[in-house]
Structure 1
Amino acid sequence: MRSLFTPSRIIVVIITFSLISFLWTFGLPRQLAEPSSPIIEHPADEIKVHDPIAPAPVAHTSHASIPKTKPTATLHKDRPKESDDHRWDDKTSKAGHTTEKTPVPSPKVSGPAGHDEDGGRWEDKEKSEASGTVSSVVFASASPEPVLELISSANTTTATATSTSSAAPYRHTAAPVKGFCKDVKNAQDVMVIVKTSKAEAADKLSGHLKGLLSCVPNFAIFSDHEGEIDGIQIHDALHEINSETKQKNGEFREYMIIQADSEYKPDAKKTKDLDKWKILPMVYRAYQMNPHARFYAFIEADTGLSWMNLLQWVDRLDYRIPYYSGAQSFINHVQFAQRGPGILLSQGAMRRYAKSYEERWASEWQKRIAKECCGDYILATALNDAHVELYTSWPLMQGEQPTTLDYTSKQWCAPAVTWHHMDDAALSKSWELQKKWTDKHGWEKPYLYRDAFEEYVLPHITAQLDNWDNLGSDTKIIANEGRQKELKGGKDDERAAKQKLEKAAGGSFTYKREEKKGSIKTDNGKDTSKDHKKDDNKGDEKDGDAKETIDWAQIGKMVKDGADSPKACAGVCQEVDDCLQWRYTSKGDGECHLSKVVKLGRKTENKGDSQIWTSGWMVDRIKEETKKWECKEVAWRFYQ
């Protein structure tokens, strides 16, 4: 009987299976989809279309939401230049016209899948090709109503709106228009949270409400009470604290009174003790209120924030990385971000924090707060529990004011994102400068510390300024006790005393060096000059005394006289090559302070016994020095 598996039959089977495999692989109309690994990239990397790793949260709005649309690309002859990052400006708003919102039909959406779910992280390729029309919309938030940007085109299906004026459809121009700072790039991705108290809200929030917050589409204000200011809701950050904790801790007595009496005006010193209790629940609630935000900026009522620089900064960061960033400080060897200059948290950090908060808040963290001093320190320990570490943001976020910062080459070319200790007037001035900057340069050019120096410092420095303290103090010269009396007429008494001593000693002392250079004294006022008999053999003197005398002989008179007057102090600074500014006070018998960094400082008032300062700057030397700090590129890098 013949076998079924003959060599010829086996060959036929093999060839058949090979053909089937080939046709299955290459004969289909299209290749089957293959799963791809997620891609994480910074905005600077090559743009790649991919599904988002993080699911897109739902945006909670107070107004009817309007779907974002991306119409089919068509040629648009009057499209703005590529450098115009402000999208489409409302030219009519310049003339004071307003736009009424009307029901808008949903246009057909075109573009790669997953773009809207990813929040528009990657940019539209049509924009880079300078073709097509973009219909952008702003979703609502806790701030005043957003402005709709609507553009009509004969060649595309777009949303339209009815305007109160008969002006033509509008677009973004190179200079930002009032109201459209809410819709600049990344504005919808950032939430700003302001922490205040009932004792200071009325006095310290007006600058933010009229300036910064008028441009922020998503923000929240937290305090130690529930209420409103100018129609904007204030959230009670202490609502999450349980009753038992409030009863055990004395700082909540003021809080209880605030809750019981809405007209009560609390003591600012007492409400300050409540600050450390606000920060952990405030951070958690901010995330719950707006989980779709990519970055969260927490500031104080006296924090100056550059909205323009912040948006440019976060554009360089990946929101999925757990960023916890701020001006660094230490307590008990724990590194934390100070609350005053502001704290920046990414969505990646907030997700980790929210999970830990839900697990540890009631059982662990509330007890920890009672034992510690400061809210920003407590936040650092909580974030550490959530495995979020600090990325120090110096020099971008500063704990100084523009007038008190020491300007050096280290931060000269870095963007100024935040300032601290800004009163209402300073906040208003800062905001006006920001508006002028964006009017002139747009929203893509950062405002550097160099620019702050030219605005706040350079116009005010001069050779001498009375009743002014420039805060410089790298070197301090203190006059000997009785020096002013000597300058005012005590020289005769001193000469008589010397003659008396010489007569008593039988003429064996010489005061030739003292008459020429004066007595050299230490800080405790003791005379360090040695009484020696005339002796040709100077080898009998100790080497240490001889060395000290030689060192003082070189700089003795200049330094000794430096604290005599403002003029003398300025003279010392002039003689020191790296001295850029000086200040003098008549405290005691006079003090002269020299500095090799530049600060403007502040005005001082003559109030009786208070110190009166006179300050001066080496203006030409400062200009020559700052010319060396040329900014070839923006120093965005911070201490990671």
Structure 2
Amino acid sequence: MIAPPSSRRLRIFGVVTIITLIATFLHLRPQWQQFEYRDYYKGVTSYFSRPVYDNTIYNPGNEQLVQKQYNTSNTCARFPDTDGVLLVMKTGATEAFDRMPTQLLTTMSCLPDNFLIFSDMEQQMGPYHIYDALSVIDEADKVRIADFDLYRTQQECAVSQKLCIDAKDQRQSAWNLDKYKFLPMIEQTWRMRPGRDWYIFAEADTYVFWANMMHWLRKKSGLNPRDKIYLGSRSFISNRPFAHGGSGYILSGGVLKHLVEKNTNLTGQYTDQGTRECCGDLLVALALDEHEGIKIRQTWPMINGEKPTTLPYGRDHWCEPILTMHHMNAEEISMVWQFEQTRKTDRILMIRDLYDSLIAPKMQEFRENWDNGSDDVCYINRDPGAQERADGHAKDRQKKEDEMNDVEKEAWKSPENCAKVCETEIPDEDSGNKEKQLDRNCFQYRWHDEVCCTSKSFKLGEPKPKPKDDEDQKVRWTSGWYLKGIHDWIEAMGECKEPAWKIPEL
């Protein structure tokens, strides 16, 4: 069938129109690609997908150490393989919903099935179950021992724990109850997750540096998990050594298996003793010593009870790798996690890296209403009233008057006088002497109520309440840092050639 002329004309017109549109598109396409709406579209897409954010810890002073942006698309990309290692985290019903969510959103999000959470009450937090460590304690003991009054109050609460219990008012009661969790938690851990190489016990305000931890356990510690091993930061009560629970402690699978399987009622053996001891981490040490014949192996400062703002940077806290920190609030846990995520290097993280990236940019010559923790050597007004007002620790660290130089004798008079102790420690003629700088013992000071204290390390510290009477300058807290001395010491130390791994010692 032959198409009429009008139909052919329409068909030709359509073909010409299509060709014209294609040519126009090809001509304008480079210009469209440069058009600002392309960038706008990218911005809108980025806003809704949100994989990349500005890095809130990036600031002048750490530009060479952390990325300017934080890519959240794969937060576990740098996380190590933790096969054979179990994290056991302890919390309490009065604090769990304040502390645990941040842990679960950060490091624990990369530990699928490699952790257990214990508390003094069974609870559910989203998809995560919190086990009641005290459920295995004999009911008669719970009734008989007054420390369990809070436990019963929690169980009887008909609404949320926040509405039933004031965490501040019940802090001592929560502390008293806490010590009974340790050994039951150890028993239940082995029964629920037997056969692991290492068990890391930590608290809800403990931060674990997993990349360092796994590298050390597998390659640097020289330890065999089949042996009986108990690691941590050593503390003492009545000359009895134990691993500080808040810093975290590590038990080998070998010792956990033997301890639990050979002692069918470990919890019952020590429940009554808990009424006579202050702390559950001490009970753990006593049980390991009495049943397994082992004591803690000192792993400090890698397993540490401080956090970035309170770590005593300097000797013993510089080239050492860090495995754990304690007293970390939710914001601090999130910050350190973000730091680990945005470091520009994947080398072993040392204590000095925390200082260089998180603390150094915040250091300044002095801060009012601030306590930087200086307390190694103190200088106190010899007036009896001032001596009486000074706290016991400061008086214990007070330098003898006949051992003071002229600057030290005047240090108590004002923050300015106190600052001179560090400024004059090394004479100007020795300022370029590397050995002198490495031997420096005064990096910072703190002045309060005619008491001047200095420190042989440097740390940031924390705020102190402002005096109610602004005119009473004597009671204000002033902290200062001798920045030149800190810089000279760091320069004299040079780069850390190798991480100073700690060999656990008895």
Give the TM-score band, short-chain normalised: 0.7 to 0.9
Partners of 1:302 and 1:413 lie apart in 2 by: 24
Q: Secondary structure at the match of 2:352?
A: helix
Aligned pair in 2 of structure 1 residues 465, 232: CA closer, same or farther (>3 Å)?
same
Indicate the structure (1 or 2) with the bigger Cα radius of gyration. 1
Partners of 2:409 and 2:265 lie apart in 1 by: 65
1:555 corresponds to which residue?
Answer: 405
Aligned pair in 2 of structure 1 residues 180, 601: CA closer, same or farther (>3 Å)?
closer
1:115 corresponds to which residue?
Answer: none
Deviations 1:212-236 (A, max 9, x none): 2111121111011111012210100
1:468 corresponds to which residue?
Answer: 370
Deviations 1:419-469 (A, max 9, x none): 1111111111111111113xx334xx2210010111232222222222222
Task: Tell whether 2:220 aligns with 1:300.
Answer: no
Q: Give the conservation status (yes or no) of the 8 Å contact 1:584–1:613.
A: yes
Question: Alignment partner for residue 492 of structure 2, among 612, 615, 628?
Answer: 628
Task: Tell whether 2:472 aligns with 1:570.
Answer: no
Q: Which amino acid aligns with 1:379?
A: V
Aligned pair in 2 of structure 1 residues 382, 584: CA closer, same or farther (>3 Å)?
closer
CA positional deviation for 1:345: 1.0
Partners of 1:566 and 1:347 lie apart in 2 by: 53
Task: Tell whether 2:327 aligns with 1:432.
Answer: no
Q: Secondary structure at the match of 1:576?
A: coil
Q: Which amino acid aligns with 1:394?
A: W
Q: Secondary structure at the match of 1:235?
A: strand
Task: Tell whether 2:450 aligns with 1:585.
Answer: no
Partners of 1:481 and 1:432 lie apart in 2 by: 50
TM-score (norm. length: structure 1): 0.58
Partners of 2:142 and 2:262 lie apart in 1 by: 22
Q: Give the conservation status (yes or no) of the 8 Å contact 1:227–1:234.
A: yes
Aligned pair in 2 of structure 1 residues 631, 235: CA closer, same or farther (>3 Å)?
same
CA positional deviation for 1:245: 1.1
Q: Which has the higher contact order (CA 8 A, sep 6+)?
A: 2
Aligned pair in 2 of structure 1 residues 422, 371: CA closer, same or farther (>3 Å)?
same
Q: Give the conservation status (yes or no) of the 8 Å contact 1:226–1:235.
A: yes
CA positional deviation for 1:412: 1.4
Partners of 2:137 and 2:467 lie apart in 1 by: 46
Task: Tell whether 2:154 aligns with 1:252.
Answer: no
Partners of 1:386 and 1:191 lie apart in 2 by: 21
Q: Secondary structure at the match of 1:594?
A: strand
Partners of 1:248 and 1:209 lie apart in 2 by: 36
CA positional deviation for 1:297: 0.9
Question: Alignment partner for residue 242 of structure 2, among 331, 336, 346?
Answer: 336
CA positional deviation for 1:613: 1.7
Task: Tell whether 2:360 aligns with 1:458.
Answer: yes
1:637 corresponds to which residue?
Answer: 502
CA positional deviation for 1:340: 0.6
CA positional deviation for 1:369: 2.7
Q: Which moved further from structure 2: 347-356 or 376-385? A: 347-356
CA positional deviation for 1:262: 4.5
Q: Give the conservation status (yes or no) of the 8 Å contact 1:394–1:638.
A: no
Aligned pair in 2 of structure 1 residues 448, 570: CA closer, same or farther (>3 Å)?
same
2:263 corresponds to which residue?
Answer: 357
Question: Alignment partner for residue 612 of structure 1, among 468, 473, 476?
Answer: 476
CA positional deviation for 1:614: 1.6
Deviations 1:137-189 (A, max 9, x none): xxxxxxxxxxxxxxxxxxxxxxxxxxxxxxxxxxxxxx99726459733x122
Matches within 5 A, 1:184-333: 184-185=80-81, 187-217=82-112, 218-263=114-159, 264=161, 265-266=164-165, 267-316=170-219, 317-333=223-239
CA positional deviation for 1:585: 3.0
Give % identity.
30
CA positional deviation for 1:347: 0.8
Partners of 2:468 and 2:76 lie apart in 1 by: 51
TM-score (norm. length: structure 2): 0.72
Q: Give the conservation status (yes or no) of the 8 Å contact 2:241–2:295.
A: no
Q: Secondary structure at the match of 1:271?
A: helix
CA positional deviation for 1:303: 1.0
1:416 corresponds to which residue?
Answer: 322
Q: Secondary structure at the match of 2:246?
A: coil
Q: Give the conservation status (yes or no) of the 8 Å contact 1:276–1:376.
A: yes
CA positional deviation for 1:628: 3.0
CA positional deviation for 1:205: 1.3
Question: Alignment partner for residue 369 of structure 1, among 265, 268, 274?
Answer: 274
Partners of 1:367 and 1:482 lie apart in 2 by: 46
Partners of 2:111 and 2:341 lie apart in 1 by: 14
Task: Tell whether 2:461 aligns with 1:601.
Answer: yes
Q: Secondary structure at the match of 2:92?
A: coil
Aligned pair in 2 of structure 1 residues 559, 332: CA closer, same or farther (>3 Å)?
closer
Gaps of 5+ in 2: 1-47, 51-70, 390-399, 427-439
Gaps of 5+ in 1: 1-94, 98-174, 484-521, 526-547
Q: Secondary structure at the match of 2:303?
A: coil
**How big is the alpha-carbon RMSD for the aligned residues of Structure 1 and Structure 2?**
2.9
Partners of 2:210 and 2:158 lie apart in 1 by: 33
Q: Give the conservation status (yes or no) of the 8 Å contact 1:581–1:598.
A: yes
Q: Which moved further from structure 2: 344-353 or 406-415? A: 406-415
Matches within 5 A, 1:510-525: none
Q: Give the conservation status (yes or no) of the 8 Å contact 1:414–1:635.
A: yes
CA positional deviation for 1:584: 4.2
Deviations 1:188-207 (A, max 9, x none): 22111111111001111122
Aligned pair in 2 of structure 1 residues 586, 278: CA closer, same or farther (>3 Å)?
closer
CA positional deviation for 1:244: 1.5
Q: Give the conservation status (yes or no) of the 8 Å contact 1:182–1:188.
A: no
Question: Alignment partner for residue 348 of structure 2, among 439, 446, 452?
Answer: 446
Would you tell me which structure has more helix in proportion to its own residues?
2
Q: Give the conservation status (yes or no) of the 8 Å contact 2:89–2:118.
A: yes
Partners of 1:230 and 1:182 lie apart in 2 by: 26
Q: Give the conservation status (yes or no) of the 8 Å contact 1:396–1:416.
A: yes
Question: Alignment partner for residue 392 of structure 1, among 277, 298, 308?
Answer: 298
Partners of 1:372 and 1:321 lie apart in 2 by: 28
Partners of 1:183 and 1:421 lie apart in 2 by: 23
Partners of 2:94 and 2:335 lie apart in 1 by: 24
